[in-house]
Amino acid sequence: MTLMETLYDEHEKIAAFIETLQQKCVALMEHGTFNAQEFHDAIRHIREYADKEHHQKEERLLFRAMVKELGPAAENLVQHGMLVEHDMARLTVSELEKAVQAYEETKSADAKLDVLAHTMEYVYLLRRHIAKENGAVYPFAERNLKPETMQKLEEDFQAGRSFEG
């Protein structure tokens, strides 16, 4: 798969994963049974797949090329949009981790509510984020990056390198 095909495919996988997160929250509300390990596993998956694998491809490759080649519009889109949302997602996951730990220690309804709130905050953030990238950011890059830049991105992607231009 090409870089762009990979990014779109990873979005599909992340979207499916966040649906399972929402279902965990629904089950927690309906049945009250809290399985902390499921949430720890979800946090690990988010960090290893959504962030380390997927976001790093965007940040080290596509976004760098966009900022370098497409000027202020791309810089604003990337620096003040997508990267901010990546950081918001990381913060939300950190807050979710704290909430899960608090629940393990206290078993309180407040801590359980925090787990639900931070999980759903992440779900809603990622749904919007994926829609923006699939609907605007990726098509903008595909339409406007020069063919030679797309080729360089592809070579760097296949070689596991960061884009340096």
Q: How much is the pLDDT for 32?
A: 86
Handedness of CA 122, 124, 127, 128 (dihedral sign): negative
Q: Using CA atoms, how far apart are residues 54 and 50, in angstroms rounded to an integer?
A: 5
pTM: 0.94
Q: How much is the pLDDT for 33?
A: 85
CA dihedral 71, 74, 77, 78 (to 10 degrees): -100
Taking residues 116-135, report their average pLDDT. Answer: 99
Domains, the chain, with CATH or none: 3-159 (1.20.120.520)
Q: How much is the pLDDT for 26?
A: 96
